[in-house]
Amino acid sequence: MKALEVTQATKRFGGLVAVNDVSLSVNQGEIFSVIGPNGAGKTTFFNLLTGIYPPDEGRILLFGKDVTGLPPDRIAKEGVGRTFQNIRLFGAMTVLENLLVGMHIHIHVPYFHAVFRTPLARREEKRAEEEAKRLLEYVSLLHRKDELAKNLPYGEQRKLEIARALALKPRLLLLDEPAAGMNPKETEELQAFIQKLRDELGITIVLIEHDMRLVMRISDRIAVLEYGSKIAEGSPEEVRTNPRVIEAYLGKGAAGGAA
């Protein structure tokens, strides 16, 4: 069973075909990158996967289950976590509360208990809080737990966004340009962190990324989009040497540097 299987997905906005007949599949436990020039439809592709909009054509299977056309909250419940190119934290909430939002589907308080604030309800919410704190420790943000998310420095906001996605206990994690704005050292830490997520937690990871060094080092396989269409797919080596990719995306200088 594949973690993700997309068959001939198409999404149009008026006359623009943002995603054009894209098919690809991601194996469980894989780190898979989606690359392509700006405007190639990468984020739109993520939006299709997470149900922000339904595809006009095509099917999307998550762990063998057809989720085509389901709303975002239902897809999230299937175990899909995601981060955003432009960080989208709940800025007016604390770091801890951001994680509690992420844990929403894993906090179970039956109606009766919720209304009458029974010990069970309190225990359950306490348990969630403890779990959120453990997760914050995992990403070394525990000391920030009571600060408003918007007051965190950029790098920590990125981390918090990943932690929030992890709070969902995803089977599939979609990272939209996680290394954006990071220096080489931070990028290296990020790479180790992503690999740790895969190795320790067994999470399948799909990322959109512009940092080619990171992409080449971390990916098991790569798909390349251009003008909404998939123009190549394969191992980093295959993609790096694919003439169409070099022409469309890497350009002469970058191709020389990568060789």
Partner 1 sequence: MLEQILALLPQVIFDGFILGFVYAMVALGYTMVYGVLELINFAHSEIFMIGAVVGVEVFRYLAPQVESGFLLLLLALILGGVVAGITAILVERFAYRPLRARGTTNRLVPLITAIGVSFILQDLVRLIEGLWHNEFFLRMRTVEDLEGSVSLFGGAIFAQTKSFILMGVSILMLVGLTYLVNRTKLGVAIRAVAQDLHTASLMGIDPDRIISRTFLIGGSLGGVAGVLFALQYTTITPYVGFLPGIKAFTAAVLGGIGNIPGAMLGGLVLGQLENFFGTYLPILTNGNFGTEYKDVVAFLILIFILLVRPQGLLGQVVKEKV
Residue 238: CB atoms within 10 Å: 13
Rounded to a whole number of angstroms, the distance between the first and last alpha carbons of the chain is: 35
Sign of CA dihedral 66, 224, 220, 211: negative
Q: Which residue in the set 101, 139, 148, 212 belongs to the binding site for partner 1 (CB under 8 A)? A: 101
- Closest to partner 1 by CB, 5 or 129: 129
Q: Taking a C-beta distance cutoff of 8 angstroms, is the pair 147, 170 a contact? A: no
The CB-of-240 to partner 1 minimum distance in angstroms stands at 33
The CB-of-237 to partner 1 minimum distance in angstroms stands at 34
Pick the piece of the chain touching partner 1 (CB under 8 A) from 17-25, 86-94, 176-184, 251-259.
86-94
The CB-of-164 to partner 1 minimum distance in angstroms stands at 7
* Cα separation, 202 vs 239, whole angstroms: 25
Binding flag, residue 54, partner 1 (CB under 8 A): no
Sign of CA dihedral 83, 84, 85, 88: negative
Binding flag, residue 90, partner 1 (CB under 8 A): yes
Binding flag, residue 65, partner 1 (CB under 8 A): no
Residue 4: CB atoms within 10 Å: 23
Pick the piece of the chain touching partner 1 (CB under 8 A) from 14-22, 87-95, 188-196, 217-225.
87-95
Pick the piece of the chain touching partner 1 (CB under 8 A) from 99-107, 184-192, 215-223, 249-257.
99-107
Binding flag, residue 114, partner 1 (CB under 8 A): yes
- Closest to partner 1 by CB, 86 or 183: 86
Binding flag, residue 188, partner 1 (CB under 8 A): no
Q: Encoding tokens for residue 89?
A: 């934290």
Q: Encoding tokens for residue 3?
A: 């973690």
The CB-of-80 to partner 1 minimum distance in angstroms stands at 8
CA distances to 133, 149, 191 from 164, in Å: 11, 11, 18
